[in-house]
Amino acid sequence: MVADGGVRGEGGPLSTDRLVSRFGAGVLAWVDELPARVERVCRRWGLTVVRPLGGNTSHTLYCHRRGGVPVVLKLVPERELVAEELAALTAWAGSPVVVRVVEADLAEGALLLEGLVPGTAARGVSGERVVELLAGLHRPAPEGFRPLAERVDLMFALLRRRRPGYYDRAHAAALALAEDPVPSVLLHGDLHAENVLDAGPRGLVVIDPRSCVGDAAFDAVDFAFDGGDPRARVGELAGAVDPERVLAWCRVLSVFSPAWQRVIHPGER
């Protein structure tokens, strides 16, 4: 989702401003120690750094492993976030639509992930391909993952910090949706175009989950807005999610994007 999604696949240097915005000024000590951490992990796992990749909540590097195998090294300031991502990727192990874990070191806050080729962000994806992606991603909710309501609270907290304003009504409506008695699935939690990569013949593959459990329609919001009015788009997603619930999520989450608000509330200023 738009609140704190990482961008990996477009390239770019580490943004300390984004890290401070997400984790606070204390993260700067972690940034200072990064070169030594990268050297340690690369030596242990036999990696050669090729180039940096982008990221809002992590430092990611495109690397080659022994024999030139492409991999992505991801380093995160908070070990809890690494543990949560590892748990989600482990729960999805075997799914062709989710990036695979090669190595993990929670003490270092490090994940080594498979390198996807070409690994570019998948934009303008057809409704049919989104349905296939969601079907491969969503499975009955396992134990041990936070509920969607907690994810909603975090998103609105970050929104208020980054763009102060009155969001109480939308926040309350989102919580009500999150707590509706609908089937609960394991959600990606931050499923937008930059977190869905083109893996060539393998198809679309998701990265950077902010996993939680809840309403499947939540993961479809960004794709509903892709290409314009979600009211015309949601019908294409009916094979994987309830179109009316997707629209309901689109309304309450439109506050995260001025462009979305213009679509949902035309004529308002």
Q: Which of the residues are catalytic?
A: 190
Tell me which residue has tokens 């969607």. 148
Give me the residues paired with residue 59 across strands: 75
Report the distance separating Cα 211 and Cα 84, nearest Å: 7
The 3-state secondary structure of the chain reads CCCCCCCCCCCCCCCHHHHHHHHCCCHHHHHHHHHHHHHHHHHHHCEEEEEEECCCCCEEEEEEEHHHEEEEEEECCCHHHHHHHHHHHHHCCCCCCECCEEEEECCCCEEEEECCCCCCECCCCCHHHHHHHHHHHCCECCCCCCEHHHHHHHHHHHHHHHCCCCCHHHHHHHHHHHCCCCCCEEECCCCCHHHEEECHHHCEEECCCCCEEECHHHHHHHHHHCCCCHHHHHHHHCCCCCHHHHHHHHHHHHHHCHHHHHHHCCCCC
Report the distance separating Cα 235 and Cα 220, nearest Å: 12
